[in-house]
């Protein structure tokens, strides 16, 4: 009689929620304020700028994909991937970074270990609570290698005084993004000469990568299509999540980290600066890193015609393919695709066997689900645990699983007399799973006798009390395969349905902002899904509602006909329906007398009254706020799935898209409409009321049954109705049969 379902999870969510949501420790000592909430600017001020210390002959690479790396909890691990050229890998290198940690971290028993390519290169105590401390570690020769290198930071942090699970939330260490650098010694190390090494373009100090696109005439649809194709390929080849695109007139004047110049044009139009490539490009497709006098990393993609240029782009992915050996630079852990019935050991997900003497152990893992994953309402996956714990551990210790940030299962250890968990199955509702990449956190909260006593120094001195075997594994059921339309999550996570199409009609605004927005959007889809969409640029009047299409342009540029097909309304067209609009937000709860019942049902049995609707409310046009960026997907009555990326003005479209492609925001895109208002950090999501289901061909009865399970679970009254209709039919025929069989009444 284990508690592991939704109900239990909901109950736990309500109890854990406040704790998790509380980033600040409860410690009220005067220093705590300073260490707990570091101002974003602070690391920049306190860390001595390492760039200045480097000798002129040195060359440095930034590592961190964001503003900072944060290691939270008793055991934390963060890694990044850095791509190196042969020369860089062979050169003597130093790893520099700066540390800042919470005051409550006990320095004598807390340490940060740095590993490169599974080799531990240093362990440093975590003792920088008063200010950011620079750390410099010489990388032993032979550790770095050409291509992908995984740099991992593993923190073991223990509280100074407290032995409770709650106290572990106060433990953190931060590595400022611009402080983490690999510094190489030698001449001309920055040069990237081969396409294979394109990943070595890397990122700038904020973790961004920028494409400077040098193209003669981007008004030509063929040029636009080729450029759109190429930026996706470049995004994949660079192994970066997020690609900013700038249209540039001329080659860069100097080399900047994280910036790649891309010249894309027919051979005939190549300017003098790229003369070296002229001859070869005139002969056939060409994609090559071109040495430039300025030293800027420059990629030339050219050929006699635009067609050949598209083919030239393909060479990029041949030289720098998407493969498990070349992980995206912010995702060093393996990312296996888990099909129905698949299993994946923790080892295969990049989690090592672990011995643990703390109280809250967490580890992250990720896996990918296919675009037609459709089991988020009914299914459960299993974590089959092999673990052991010492006799110190008490019942009531708990194993929690979070999926994509939401608690999915909370399983208390009911018996701790055995000392082992052998093949212990933890059932995890797939409620928060989605097509594309999924993140999960395994957290083990340990209650122990000795922690209850909590002698001084015990937090570090306690013997190992929990061992997690990396043979533990995830097991997925044979889950339903179907795609719900509209669902932006499927697009942003899996490029569905467009990646499967031969060429997707794309209607672009007449301005450059629309083109740039489209390129960034397309590249972001590619880097999330690993797939490239082929576009066919068409005027918006030529779009056929029967076919899939994408539109990227300001709302004002949309023809009235097409505007009606986007699911977006202008403020005037949807005036007076504000109330209905409010209701469309997923989080909105009915007010009034029903809300009490509704909340009660939600809390006790996880029942959402919205699932009880017989006739879904119509999907009314969404009226975005001024300047807000909106992504909207609509399935046209004629069959085409249309996605629109728009904003009120062209600059807002450009700026909004640039913000949207930031990973946390990108992963929040869902529903039929997602909107990002200027100045907001949260994506507003409008879930679709009317959803159509596309099942994969050939149809299998088993899959249909599972699809029915998911669909019925969200359309509960239809399930009840189907059962009632079935029952009435069965009753009628039974009544009929009964008159035919058995002895007649006298």
| Shortest distance (Å) from residue 687 CB to another protein | 17
Three-state DSSP class for residue 478: coil
| Alpha carbon distance, N-terminus to C-terminus of the chain | 52
Q: Where are the beta strands (DSSP E) in 85-126?
A: 93-101, 111-116, 119-125
d(CA 313, CA 301): 7
Comparison of 361 and 479: residue with beta carbon closer to another protein:
479
* Residue 479 neighbours by CB under 8 Å, 6+ apart: 340, 373, 374, 375, 379, 430, 706
Per CB under 8 A, the segment of 211-219, 484-492, 640-648, 720-728 that binds another protein is 720-728
Q: Is 293 in the site for another protein (CB under 8 A)?
A: no
Comparison of 344 and 717: residue with beta carbon closer to another protein:
717
The angle, 0 to 180 degrees and rounded to 10, between the axes of the packed helices 716-740 and 701-714 is 120
Per CB under 8 A, the segment of 182-190, 211-219, 287-295, 718-726 that binds another protein is 718-726
Comparison of 31 and 423: residue with beta carbon closer to another protein:
423
Q: Is 415 in the site for another protein (CB under 8 A)?
A: yes
Q: Is 475 in the site for another protein (CB under 8 A)?
A: no
Q: Is 164 in the site for another protein (CB under 8 A)?
A: no
String of DSSP letters for 723-735:
HHHHHHHHHHHHH
Of residues 416-445, which lie at the interface with another protein (CB under 8 A)?
422-425
The contact pattern for another protein, residues 594-633, with x = CB under 8 A and - = no contact, is: ----------xxxxx--xx---------------------
Query: Of 48, 395, 616, 651, which lies in the binding site for another protein, with binding defined by CB under 8 A?
Result: 395
| Shortest distance (Å) from residue 425 CB to another protein | 6
Q: Is 24 in the site for another protein (CB under 8 A)?
A: no
For residue 195, give the DSSP letter. Answer: G
Q: Is 246 in the site for another protein (CB under 8 A)?
A: no
Q: Is 22 in the site for another protein (CB under 8 A)?
A: no
Comparison of 514 and 715: residue with beta carbon closer to another protein:
715
| Shortest distance (Å) from residue 729 CB to another protein | 5
Comparison of 572 and 734: residue with beta carbon closer to another protein:
734
Give me the torsion for CA of 633, 636, 641, 644, rounded to 10°. Answer: -40
Comparison of 6 and 248: residue with beta carbon closer to another protein:
6
| Shortest distance (Å) from residue 8 CB to another protein | 5
- Alpha carbon separation from 354 to 118, 306, 340, 361, 464 (Å, rounded): 15, 54, 28, 10, 10
> Where does residue 4 rank: exposed (0-12), middle (13-18), buried (19+ CB within 10 A)?
buried
- Alpha carbon separation from 707 to 131, 213, 338, 693 (Å, rounded): 55, 45, 18, 9
Comparison of 458 and 719: residue with beta carbon closer to another protein:
719
d(CA 634, CA 485): 8
Q: Are 202 and 62 in contact (CB under 8 A)?
A: yes
| Shortest distance (Å) from residue 733 CB to another protein | 5
| Shortest distance (Å) from residue 725 CB to another protein | 9
The contact pattern for another protein, residues 336-375, with x = CB under 8 A and - = no contact, is: ----------------------------------------
d(CA 543, CA 638): 12
Comparison of 361 and 521: residue with beta carbon closer to another protein:
361
d(CA 299, CA 319): 13
Size of residue set near another protein by CB under 8 A: 60
Comparison of 217 and 423: residue with beta carbon closer to another protein:
423
For residue 448, give the DSSP letter. Answer: B
| Shortest distance (Å) from residue 601 CB to another protein | 8
Q: Is 713 in the site for another protein (CB under 8 A)?
A: yes
Q: Are 75 and 110 in contact (CB under 8 A)?
A: no
d(CA 453, CA 456): 9
* Residue 147 neighbours by CB under 8 Å, 6+ apart: 83, 84, 89, 196, 199, 325, 326
Q: Are 706 and 479 in contact (CB under 8 A)?
A: yes
| Shortest distance (Å) from residue 417 CB to another protein | 8
| Shortest distance (Å) from residue 296 CB to another protein | 56
Q: Is 727 in the site for another protein (CB under 8 A)?
A: yes
Query: Of 83, 169, 361, 712, which lies in the binding site for another protein, with binding defined by CB under 8 A?
Result: 712
Q: Are 403 and 440 in contact (CB under 8 A)?
A: yes
Q: Is 398 in the site for another protein (CB under 8 A)?
A: yes
Per CB under 8 A, the segment of 3-11, 194-202, 295-303, 366-374 that binds another protein is 3-11
Query: What are the backbone angles phi and psi of residue 570, rounded to the nearest 5°?
Result: -80, 165
Query: Of 8, 36, 388, 694, which lies in the binding site for another protein, with binding defined by CB under 8 A?
Result: 8
The footprint of another protein (CB under 8 A) covers 1-8, 377-379, 395-396, 398, 412, 414-415, 422-425, 604-608, 611-612, 705-706, 708-709, 712-713, 716-717, 719-720, 722-724, 726-738, 740-743, 745-746
């Amino acid at each position: 009689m284990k508690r592991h379902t939704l109900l239990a999870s909901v109950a736990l969510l309500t109890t854990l929620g406040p704790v998790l949501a509380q980033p600040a420790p409860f410690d009220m000592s005067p220093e705590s304020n300073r260490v707990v909430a570091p101002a974003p600017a602070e690391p920049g001020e306190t860390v001595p700028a390492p760039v200045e210390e480097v000798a002129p002959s040195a060359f440095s690479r930034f590592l961190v994909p964001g503003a900072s790396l944060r290691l939270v909890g008793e055991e934390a691990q963060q890694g990044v991937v850095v791509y190196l050229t042969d020369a860089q890998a062979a050169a003597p290198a130093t790893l520099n970074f700066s540390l800042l940690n919470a005051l409550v971290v006990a320095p004598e028993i807390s340490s940060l270990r740095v590993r490169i390519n599974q080799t531990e290169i240093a362990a440093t105590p975590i003792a920088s609570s008063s200010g950011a401390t620079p750390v410099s570690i010489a990388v032993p020769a032979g550790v770095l290698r050409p291509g992908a290198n995984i740099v991992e930071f593993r923190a073991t942090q223990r509280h100074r005084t407290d032995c409770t699970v709650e106290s572990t939330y106060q433990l953190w260490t931060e590595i400022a993004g611009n402080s983490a650098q690999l510094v190489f010694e030698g001449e001309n190390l920055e040069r990237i000469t081969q396409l294979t090494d394109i990943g070595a373009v890397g990122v700038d100090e904020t973790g961004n990568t920028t494409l400077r696109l040098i193209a003669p005439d981007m008004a030509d649809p063929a040029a636009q299509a080729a450029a759109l194709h190429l930026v996706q390929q470049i995004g994949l080849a660079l192994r970066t999540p997020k690609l900013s695109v700038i249209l540039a007139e001329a080659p860069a004047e100097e080399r900047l980290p994280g910036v790649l110049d891309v010249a894309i044009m027919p051979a005939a139009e190549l300017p003098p600066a790229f003369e070296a490539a002229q001859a070869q490009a005139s002969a056939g497709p060409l994609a090559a890193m071109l040495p430039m006098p300025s030293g800027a990393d420059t990629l030339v993609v050219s050929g006699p015609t635009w067609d050949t240029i598209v083919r030239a782009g393909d060479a990029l992915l041949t030289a720098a393919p998407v493969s498990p050996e070349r992980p995206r630079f912010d995702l060093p852990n393996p990312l296996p695709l888990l099909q129905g019935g698949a299993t994946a050991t923790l080892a295969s997900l990049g989690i090592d066997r672990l011995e643990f003497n703390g109280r809250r152990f967490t580890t992250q893992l990720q896996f990918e689900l296919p675009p037609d994953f459709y089991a988020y309402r009914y299914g459960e996956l299993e974590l089959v645990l092999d673990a052991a714990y010492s006799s110190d551990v008490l019942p009531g210790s708990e194993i929690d699983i979070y999926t994509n940030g939401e608690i999915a299962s909370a399983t208390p250890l009911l018996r701790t007399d055995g000392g082992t968990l052998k093949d212990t199955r933890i059932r995890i509702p797939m409620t928060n799973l989605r097509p594309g990449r999924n993140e999960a956190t395994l957290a083990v909260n340990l209650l122990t006798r000795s922690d209850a006593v909590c002698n001084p120094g015990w937090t570090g001195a306690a013997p190992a009390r929990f061992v997690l075997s990396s043979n533990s594994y995830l097991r997925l059921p044979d889950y339903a395969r179907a795609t719900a339309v509209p669902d932006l999550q499927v697009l942003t996570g899996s490029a569905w349905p467009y990646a499967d199409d031969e060429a997707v009609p794309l209607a672009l605004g007449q301005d450059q902002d629309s083109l740039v927005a489209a390129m960034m959007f397309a590249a972001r889809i590619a880097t999330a899904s690993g797939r490239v969409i082929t576009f066919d640029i068409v005027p918006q009047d030529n779009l056929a509602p029967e076919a899939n299409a994408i539109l990227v342009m300001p709302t004002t540029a949309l023809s009235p006909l097409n505007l009606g097909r986007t699911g977006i309304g202008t403020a005037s067209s949807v005036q007076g329906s504000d109330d209905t609009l409010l209701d469309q937000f997923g989080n909105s709860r009915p007010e009034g007398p029903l809300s009490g019942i509704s909340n009660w049902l939600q809390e006790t049995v996880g029942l959402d009254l919205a699932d009880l609707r017989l006739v879904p409310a119509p999907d009314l046009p969404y009226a975005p706020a001024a300047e807000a960026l909106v992504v909207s997907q609509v399935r046209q009555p004629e069959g085409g799935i249309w996605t629109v990326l728009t904003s009120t003005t062209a600059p807002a479209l450009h700026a909004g898209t640039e913000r949207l492609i930031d990973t946390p925001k990108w992963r929040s895109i869902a529903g039929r409409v997602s909107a990002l208002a200027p100045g907001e950090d949260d994506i507003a999501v409008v879930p679709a009321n009317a959803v159509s289901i596309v099942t994969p061909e050939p149809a299998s009865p088993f899959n249909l049954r599972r699809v029915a399970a998911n669909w019925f679970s969200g359309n509960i009254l239809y399930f009840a109705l189907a059962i009632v209709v079935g029952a009435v039919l069965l009753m009628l025929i039974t009544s009929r049969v009964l008159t035919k069989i058995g002895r007649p009444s006298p």
